Amino acid sequence: MACIYEYRKHPKLYTEYAYDACMDTHCASSSWPQLSQQNTGVLSRDAGATALQTVHKVFTYLLKPLSDARCQTGYEMIWADKNVRLCFPKLFCWLADHRANATIHAIASNHCPVCIVLVEKRGKYSETGYPRRSHADYITTYRESDALSLNEQGVKNINNALWSLIELNPLDLVRADILYNILLGVWTHMIDWIQDFLEHYERINVFDYVWRRLPPYPGFCVLTKSYRVVSQ
Ligand SMILES: [Zn+2]
């Protein structure tokens, strides 16, 4: 549990927990063809499902305070102002990269945790979008032991820990990961593109000059080197 977001909602106080996830996703590889563990280190399909189920049993245990009877009646918590308030913890989001999301949502790592876009259509624009996943249906299908139907949608045939949480739609947990999605993804791609563009028009030196002369303001460290020469 990395951070807690709190806000007041009259007359009750709600506390929303954001979990920062960083976990071993080895078991998420269970949808891959069965290979010899001795030769490849990849778990067989059954071993992968068992490992993932164990992970979700641990999740279920850890998330117990968000699913037990007291989460309905409220937990008394001491606040920074020393007052005791009634809190209703909710799982709000789970910051994770795609591999970790595959584990958390118990899906195959080559599938989207939010929609059921076909593998070959990923990355392609769609006017209509793709149907969103229905965990309510997955619960029913799991209880009917219909592993084949789950597998067709890239869903693991395990008892998902997120299903134990009241009024939670697992799709709502997915958020952009600032580090991997924005800073190391969009930002890096964008700035590389801009630099190529400026070099092409012989304006890169002007860009460097402006970059190094950005004025200071609270929370901002003044840059002394051009962006190009800073590796991280
Ligand atoms: Zn999707």
CA of 105 from ligand 1 middle (Å) equals 13
Q: What is the pTM of this model?
A: 0.64
Top pLDDT among 40 and 132 is at 132
217-231 pLDDT tens trace: 888 888 888 887 776
CA of 115 from ligand 1 middle (Å) equals 4
CA of 39 from ligand 1 middle (Å) equals 34
Please list, in sequence order, all residues whose beta carbon lies within 8 angstroms of the beta carbon of residue 6, skipping any fewer than 6 positions away.
13, 14, 15, 16
Check: CB of residue 63 under 8 Å from CB of residue 161. Answer: yes
Report d(CA 142, CA 203) in Å as an integer.
59
Position 30 scores a pLDDT of 34
Report d(CA 70, CA 164) in Å as an integer.
14
Across 31-35, 161-165, 166-170, the highest mean pLDDT is recorded for 161-165
- Map tokens 């059954």 to a residue: 46
CA of 64 from ligand 1 middle (Å) equals 28
Rounded to 5°, the CA angle 102-105-111 comes to 45
Position 180 scores a pLDDT of 79
- Report residue 26's pLDDT band, with 50, 70 and 90 as the boundaries: very low
